[in-house]
């Protein structure tokens, strides 16, 4: 079974890291210009929307929130947006962010698992892009700036 797991230590309080994960300013900065739209409660639907194949409001990822505990945990079942794969509804994985205070910093753990099917076509993309997004999150939470990836 494919499990992607990342741990980052961030020189910022949990509230600032949480803000990067859910606020329009934070998500736009770290998730390639996308904004997270949701009612932000357990069981609610969500969408990451931003520039892409279908214009400025392309749905890149959508799904259902499994857990929404401010400053502690964000977990969801996700599907790739409709413009990526014709069978997007059949493609799913789970993403869980957890935050904990460690000394004067925040430990961010991301687990991306429960890939269905196991040969999910977004797996390779996730393996390379999570590093970039999490590095960008760390930089944004610590300094208010983002990384320049050159694209």
Q: What is the pLDDT of residues 37-65, one digit of tens each?
A: 999 999 999 999 999 999 999 999 999 99
Between the alpha carbon of residue 57 and those of residues 37, 50, 70, 99, the distances in Å are: 11, 5, 26, 29
Confidence at 118, pLDDT banded by 50, 70, 90 = confident
Q: Which of 103, 96, 107 is nearest to 69 (CA)?
A: 96
- All domains of the chain, ordered by start, with CATH? 4-143 (3.30.530.20)
Bigger pLDDT: 31 or 105?
A: 105
pTM of full prediction above 0.85? yes
Looking at residue 121, what is its pLDDT? 95
Residues 2, 48: Cα–Cα separation, whole Å: 23
Summary mean pLDDT of the chain: 95
Q: Which of 88, 18, 79, 20 is nearest to 48 (CA)?
A: 79
Between the alpha carbon of residue 119 and those of residues 60, 78, 104, the distances in Å are: 19, 15, 40
């Amino acid at each position: 079974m494919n499990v992607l797991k990342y741990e980052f230590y961030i020189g910022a309080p949990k509230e600032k890291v949480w803000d990067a994960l859910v606020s329009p300013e934070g998500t736009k900065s770290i998730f390639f210009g996308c904004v997270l739209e949701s009612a932000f409660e357990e069981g609610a639907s969500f969408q990451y929307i931003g520039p892409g194949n279908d214009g400025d409001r392309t749905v890149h990822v959508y799904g259902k929130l499994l857990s929404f505990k401010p400053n502690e945990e964000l977990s969801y079942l996700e599907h790739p947006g409709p413009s990526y794969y014709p069978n997007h509804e059949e493609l799913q994985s789970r993403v869980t962010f957890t935050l904990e205070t460690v000394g004067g910093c925040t430990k961010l753990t991301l687990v991306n698992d429960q890939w269905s099917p196991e040969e999910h076509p977004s797996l390779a993309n996730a393996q390379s892009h999570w590093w970039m997004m999490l590095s960008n999150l760390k930089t944004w939470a610590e300094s208010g700036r983002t990384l320049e990836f050159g694209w």
